[in-house]
Amino acid sequence: MPASYRMRSALVLPFVILALTLGLVTGGVVAAPEASAATRGEKARTAVKIVKRQLGDPYRYGATGPGAFDCSGLPYFAYRKAGFRHMPRTSDAQARFTKRLRKHNMRRGDLMFFHNGGDVYHVAVFVGWKDGRRLMIHSPRSGSRVKYARPWTRSWFPGTLRWR
């Protein structure tokens, strides 16, 4: 074995041990760490930008855009376009897919799931605060358009894809 190879191996070994300790090596191959929270956070912010571009689009049952949306079709369209490839289609499935968090930990791009004690019946995208109250964008119902709104009930919980 050439001396240069032995020297290179001696220099690489501590890094391999560190990677093994951190759980980054699997099957002899160094695996890339999962996407950072910042990357997922950036995707969520991109999804908000996409949702904002849909303001004024009509509600249509079962529609996933572009041009018309039902409530779950709006985040489905925006988050998939922003890079969340596994975003489910329905509000109930989206609620199960996201990680729940406390309301005070919400960030722009998190989702608001409205429920009637058990079943999720509506979803909206949290876009920030206005006059001390939460502001969301959603596609509310037939005959309406994608718009800004405030929650009409306290029967909702937040979910995030930032940690998914």
Phi then psi dihedrals of residue 99, to 5 deg: -95, 130
Same domain (yes/no): 97, 149: yes
Each residue's pLDDT tens digit, 121-152: 999 999 999 999 999 999 999 999 999 999 99
Peptide bond into 66 cis (omega under 30): yes
CA 94 to chain centre: 10
Residue 27 confidence (pLDDT): 41
User: What is the tally of structural domains in the chain?
Assistant: 2
Each residue's pLDDT tens digit, 55-108: 999 999 999 999 999 999 999 999 999 999 999 999 999 999 999 999 999 999
Provide the Cα torsion 6, 7, 8, 13; round to 10°: 80
Which stretch of 23-27, 33-37, 81-85 has the lowest confidence by average pLDDT?
A: 23-27
Same domain (yes/no): 51, 5: no
The residue with tokens 């406390």 is 102
Band of the pLDDT at 7, cuts 50, 70, 90? Answer: very low
Same domain (yes/no): 8, 80: no
Same domain (yes/no): 23, 86: no
pLDDT higher than 80, residue 9: no
Same domain (yes/no): 10, 60: no
Q: 52 exposed, middle or buried (CB, 10 Å; 0-12, 13-18, 19+)? A: middle
The answer to whether 72 touches 141, Cβ cutoff 8 Å, is no
Same domain (yes/no): 11, 91: no
What's 115's domain CATH number? 3.90.1720.10
Same domain (yes/no): 25, 102: no
Per the rule left: phi > 0, alpha: psi between -120 and 50, beta: everything else, 48 is alpha
pLDDT higher than 90, residue 37: no
Same domain (yes/no): 137, 77: yes
What is the percent of the chain where pLDDT is above 90? 71
Measured CA to CA, the distance from residue 76 to residue 65 in angstroms comes to 9
Same domain (yes/no): 21, 79: no
Same domain (yes/no): 28, 41: no
Q: Whole domain around residue 43: which residue ranges?
A: 35-160
Residue 18 confidence (pLDDT): 42
Same domain (yes/no): 40, 29: no
Same domain (yes/no): 55, 135: yes
Residue 23 confidence (pLDDT): 45
Measured CA to CA, the distance from residue 87 to residue 64 in angstroms comes to 12
Residue 73 confidence (pLDDT): 98
